[in-house]
Each structure stands twice: as structure tokens, then as C-alpha cells.
Structure 1
Amino acid sequence: MLDNIRFKILNTIEHLCMLCVEQMYKLPSTSPSMILNGQNYEWNNKIDDKDRRNFTQYIYVLSTIHRLVRTQSRMNIRELFYSQVNLFRHQRVSDNIIEQIARHLCVDRRQLGFVATAKGFCAGNIQYRNLRSGDIIDCNQLSNGQLIVDDDVEIIETEHRISFILVVEKDTVFQHLLNNGFLIRYRNACLITGRGQPDHATRSFLQQLSRLYNDTPIYILTDCDIFGVLIACTYQSSLNENYRNRIRWLGVWPEELISLSSLTISQTLPITDERERRMINRFIQRSDINDEWRRQVSFFEQHQRKMEIEAIYENGTKSLIDDYLHAKLMGHR
């Protein structure tokens, strides 16, 4: 972290706490008040148990941030909650305070010393250096993939350039591809999963990959439902505008439901949830979606069916790698 940002955070917290202490020593009729980047926090009425708890929660998070920034340490956001479960009671309380302080200081959560629970994985032709420890991780040497940590990493360009990046929605599909020789067939490929909606670390990792390998295609494989499509959109929007056009959604496309079903390969499911239907309708009306993706999502509206990726290979009649993905990749390369 840049020293000027560290000093700004430390000075603001120290100044804030000093003001708070000064207020406490004033007349009994005066309640504590705080000003943080122009935002005024006051307890003008009689302080009850709820007010006291809110105040204590806020000061505790501030003191934790001060320690983390001063020592240049990191803490998992879940760790903060578990350090004072009885104080916070629910993790959303501590999470909200972190986000509030980050907004008022005009910094991001990581600059306050907090990291999210790592959830994404990567595998294949990738090497990177952990800038904090100096360790070099070679993902080619790991059979089950490497956890993508929310930390400072520098991806190292390998001797054999990445041929393509495949991002899959689900961990089950990620493991299936690894176990069935995807990286043996496509030796210079890179495989990534965010295990659902991608976290900050996974999106940041993909951003760095896209900048280093600026002509390498990026493919996304998701479930054939509106949630999968929205996950593909999340990955696309996380990239710099100059790199977004390199993202290709491989599927599973809604228009494929008919052909896959006719081959008795998939087990399609009806779309019965009204919330899903509303999400589909809102997606079709969005102005920031390219015409092909909008056309695909319109199939959900027309046929009211969806499908999970696993249905392609679970009954053993079709291989995800040799049949479905190979045809898709050959059609885009």
C-alpha cells in the first residue's frame, strides 16, 4: 500500500478517536459525536443499549483497521466477525461497517487490511509470484488447482504462452475437467472457476491475465440458466473495456436445449420460479447487452426451460471435453 494512503487512513482514525474522547469528557448532556470525511455521527438522545452497541462496534472495527494498516497486516473479513461474535451477532453487521468506513475514506476494503474468503481456483499454464511472501506458484504442478487468494500477486509470463483461458461457473465442472484430462488435451490452456459468482480475487486475477496475455481468447462456460448468463456478464464487466470483446460465452446456450434434448443428453428443467422469469425479462430489456446474448436469453422466455452443465455428461452418453467443448472451441479459434 502506498505510504500516503496508509498515513491518510491512520491519521483520520486517530483524529476521529481523539475527537470522540474529547466529546466524552464534555458536559454530561453532550453525547459522543464523530465526523469522518464530512459524515457526522451523533448520538444526541439518551444513549440506550442499542446505541452503545453500535458505537462499540464502530470503534472496535476502527481499532482493528488501525492495527492492520499500521503493521501492514491482513485479516479475513470473516475473522473480524469471529473475533467478536457476541458484539456483532451477525457477519453482515461487521461487513457493513467495513464498507461504510471504506466509502468514507475513499479507499477499497483491501487498503483497510481486509481480504475476502478465497473461493476461486485456477489450473494450467500459469505461474505467479506472491508479492508479500515472494513465493512462486506453478499451477501446472498442481493436480487439483490452486486457490486464488485475495492478495498481491504478479502473474509471470510463461515460456509457452497461454493458448486460451476457460472460465467455468462451477467447481464440480472445474474438477470434472481436471480429472478427465482437459489440461492434457489442451496443454497450454488456463482453467479458472469462481465457484459461482466470482469474488474480487478471481475477477482481479482474470484482469491481470487479460492484460499480460492481451491477445489470448477468454471463454466462459456456465449453466444454461439466467444465473449462469449473469455470471458470464460479471466476468465480462470486470475486464477493462479494451479487453471485453475477447470474452466469448461458449454456452451452454439456451438455443441448444432443443438439440441436446433430442439426443437424450440433457435433463432439462422447467422455469417455474417467478423471480427467474422477471430476471430474464429484465435482462432482455437491458441496453448494455450485445444482441447475440439477448437473443439467446430470449429462448428462456420462449421455451421456459433450463439446464445444468452436468447434464451433458452425467448419463455417460456424451463427453464434455471430447464432444461438447472440443466442438465449441474449434468453432471459436
Structure 2
Amino acid sequence: MNIALFNEEMDKIQKSIKEPSEIIDVFKQHLDSILEMIINKQASQELKFQSLKDLCHYLIVMRESLDGILKDSYHTKREIFYMNQNIFQKQENLNLVIKQFSHNVQIQRKQLHIISASKGLVCGSLILRKQDIKLDLLQLTSQGKGLNITEFMNEWQPQIYGKWILLVEKETVYFHLINEMHQEFLQNTVLITGKGYPCYATKYFVKYLSMMNPSIPVYYFGDMDPHGYDILQQYAYGNQYSSHELNNIPWIQWLNSYFSIVQFQIKKKNKLNQREIQLLEQITNNPNIPENWKSIMDSKEKYEIEDILVDNLSKSLLEIMQYLDGDLQQQ
């Protein structure tokens, strides 16, 4: 990450941090806008409710967030759902409202005191310190798992003693790389998985880790199919609801695009179906996607990481990252 980009990101993050009193003022203004919309029966571009039920859902989320801020406590999404199960019916309905609300008030979800159970894992060449506690994740890695990522990882002071941060799409690949026990790979790599599409906590942690260690490159390794591409896009550029979260990682590098360095052999490739072609078109229409990524995505074929024929995957990935590390040092 270059210095200018680092300073720009740090400035955005500092400006985004709000005191509880500031958030309450934002809530008051937002509630005034909602009341004005109801009285005038005129929806704004940001505030659109299809029904009274949708408005009710929205106000419940605002109430729960305000309750957490006033009490300085955190509500989980699951907790909010079970307290209002008859109203929301499905967890997905609540999740969407939380995204919309956070986007509309332009406040990061953690600052709204609404959190979720994380599914991400991290291991490898990383030490985490908090007061007199020290966790060496390489020791946890030798036990076969690593550490569960939570939404409070920023309470730890991270020290990377390796050379790279590697995000892998799948949990199965994460454990495969651990079980190969390639010492040079593990001793030089902070290995992270979001188990598919990344949760809020995983993205937040990767961004935090990268900002605290700006000289360490961040790589992504996933399936060569539209869903794998979309997950990469979510890490790098987010979606329509996440721009205010400031946890995107636009400097992430796509490790798959350097496969030619090690000449991977692929066991089988399949054609994309119509839904996958539509998803691919949506991804490539994103103006943020680099042109070299688009050219790789242009193939109408797909394969999974498990279809790569290689004796030692961690050794091959290490070879690619070593090549890129040497290339960066020459620049």
C-alpha cells in the first residue's frame, strides 16, 4: 500500500468515528426526516418503505441500536431477531433492514452497537497482544485450527512477523493449507478465511490488520467462478450498502491471476450456467474492477480450487508470493 493511499484511508477512518452524542443527534435528524415523509406522504430517495410493516421493521432496528448506545452494550443480530421473531419472520429480513439503516444514517454498524457472530478464522505468523495477554497464532496453527475472528479484534495489537496476508475463499482450503504443514509457508503467512462471502467482522479485521501493517501485501485465493470473483469483489470494493463501513481493501491482489508462474494443471472445467453468466456480467460492469481482472473473468468456464492438480498447494502458493515479493522489491 502506498503512503498516499494509507494516509487517505486513515483520514477517512478518523473522520468516521462518532461519539454517542453525535450518533444520537444523527438519529434525531433521521427520525425527523421519517416523520416528515409520513406527514407529507412523499418518499425521499434514501427513505422508501413499501408498507407500514417495512417502516415498523426499520424503527425497531433504530430502537435497538439506540438502546445499545445509551446502555453502552451490544445487541447481536440473532438476539434482535429472536426478540422480534413474529415481526421479522426470517433472519434475512432483519439483516437487510440493518444494512439499509446503517447505510442511510452513514454510521458503521459496530458504532450502532449491533454485532453478529463471526465465521472467519485466522492463523499463521501473527502475534496478538492485549495488556498482559500474548497470543502467538503460529502455535495455535500447529494445533490445527487458529483463532475465531470477532468484531472486537481491534482491541488487540497485531504484530505480523511474516511477509504476507493470504485470504482464502473456503474453509476447506484453509484447513488443507494448514494440514500440509509446510513450515516456510506457515511461518511467512497470515492465513485467513471468511468461509465464503465475508462477514462484517472478517472484512473489518483484514482491513485493520492491513492498516496496522501497511507494508504487508494482501492476497486473495478463491474459486475461478463468478461466486469466487464476487467474493473477491466484496473484499476489495464492497456493495451498495457498505461504502460507509470503510472496510474495503482495494489494494488486495488476486493470486489466481498469477497462476502462470507455477503452471497449474486443472483436473476439470465446467461451463457457466445462465445465472452465473448474469452474475459475471454484474461483476464486470463494476467500474472499480481492474481491467486485468476482467480479462481473466471473461472465460465462460469455471473450476474450483479442489480441481487444481498439485502435490503441495501451500508450496505452490508460496512460490507465487515469493515471486511477487521479489517483484515488489524491485519497483
Say if 2:221 and 2:254, in contact at 8 Å, map to a contact too: yes
Change in Cα spacing, 1:273 to 1:154, as seen in structure 2 (3 Å) is same
Query: Which amino acid in 1 is paired with 2:253?
Result: R
Q: 2:31 aligns with which of 12, 36, 61?
A: 36
Q: Tell me the equivalent position of 1:77.
A: 77
Q: Distance in 1 between matches of 2:23 and 2:289?
A: 39
Give the Å deviation of 1:84.
2.2
Q: Tell me the equivalent position of 2:111.
A: 111
1:6 aligns with 2:30: no
Q: Tell me the equivalent position of 1:331.
A: 323
Q: Tell me the equivalent position of 1:319.
A: 312
Q: How many residues are matched?
A: 292
Q: Distance in 1 between matches of 2:190 and 2:130?
A: 18
Q: Distance in 1 between matches of 2:108 and 2:23?
A: 11
Q: Distance in 2 between matches of 1:6 and 1:214?
A: 30
Say if 1:37 and 1:105, in contact at 8 Å, map to a contact too: no
Q: Tell me the equivalent position of 1:248.
A: 253
Q: Tell me the equivalent position of 1:102.
A: 102
Which one has the bigger helix percentage? 2
SS, match of residue 166 in structure 1: strand
Give the Å deviation of 1:6.
1.5
Q: Distance in 1 between matches of 2:280 and 2:97?
A: 33
Q: Tell me the equivalent position of 2:137.
A: 139
Q: 1:151-170 residue pairs with structure 2 within 5 A?
A: 151=152, 153-158=154-159, 161-170=161-170
Q: Distance in 2 between matches of 1:328 and 1:99?
A: 37
SS, match of residue 177 in structure 1: helix
- Highest relative contact order (Cα 8 Å, sep 6+), 1 or 2? 2
Q: Which runs of 5+ in 1 are unaligned?
A: 17-34
Q: Tell me the equivalent position of 1:68.
A: 68
Change in Cα spacing, 1:43 to 1:83, as seen in structure 2 (3 Å) is farther
Change in Cα spacing, 1:165 to 1:61, as seen in structure 2 (3 Å) is closer
Q: Distance in 1 between matches of 2:130 and 2:75?
A: 17
SS, match of residue 192 in structure 1: strand
1:173-210: CA deviations, max 9, x gaps?
Answer: 00111111145644132101111122222222111222
Q: 1:190-209 residue pairs with structure 2 within 5 A?
A: 190-209=190-209
Change in Cα spacing, 1:3 to 1:308, as seen in structure 2 (3 Å) is closer
Change in Cα spacing, 1:221 to 1:183, as seen in structure 2 (3 Å) is farther
Q: Distance in 2 between matches of 1:10 and 1:282?
A: 37
Q: Tell me the equivalent position of 1:271.
A: 271
Say if 2:120 and 2:194, in contact at 8 Å, map to a contact too: yes
1:140-174: CA deviations, max 9, x gaps?
Answer: 2323011111225145353x732111111111000
Q: 1:215-254 residue pairs with structure 2 within 5 A?
A: 215-237=215-237, 244-245=250-251, 247-251=252-256
SS, match of residue 254 in structure 2: strand
Q: Distance in 2 between matches of 1:293 and 1:58?
A: 38
Q: Distance in 2 between matches of 1:292 and 1:3?
A: 35
Give the Å deviation of 1:276.
1.7
Say if 1:120 and 1:148, in contact at 8 Å, map to a contact too: yes
SS, match of residue 82 in structure 1: helix
Q: Distance in 2 between matches of 1:185 and 1:129?
A: 23
Say if 2:170 and 2:194, in contact at 8 Å, map to a contact too: yes
Query: Which amino acid in 1 is paired with 2:312?
Result: S
Query: Which amino acid in 2 is paired with 1:82?
Result: Y
Change in Cα spacing, 1:126 to 1:327, as seen in structure 2 (3 Å) is closer
Say if 1:10 and 1:70, in contact at 8 Å, map to a contact too: no
SS, match of residue 204 in structure 2: helix
- Per the normalisation by structure 1, the TM-score is 0.72
Amino-acid identity (%): 25
Q: Which runs of 5+ in 2 are unaligned?
A: 1-15, 42-49, 239-244, 326-331
Change in Cα spacing, 1:241 to 1:148, as seen in structure 2 (3 Å) is closer
Q: Tell me the equivalent position of 2:304.
A: 308
1:124 aligns with 2:120: no
Q: Distance in 1 between matches of 2:249 and 2:73?
A: 33
Change in Cα spacing, 1:99 to 1:328, as seen in structure 2 (3 Å) is closer
Q: Distance in 2 between matches of 1:92 and 1:241?
A: 22
Q: Distance in 2 between matches of 1:181 and 1:172?
A: 15
Give the Å deviation of 1:69.
1.0
Q: Distance in 1 between matches of 2:55 and 2:204?
A: 34
Say if 2:122 and 2:190, in contact at 8 Å, map to a contact too: yes
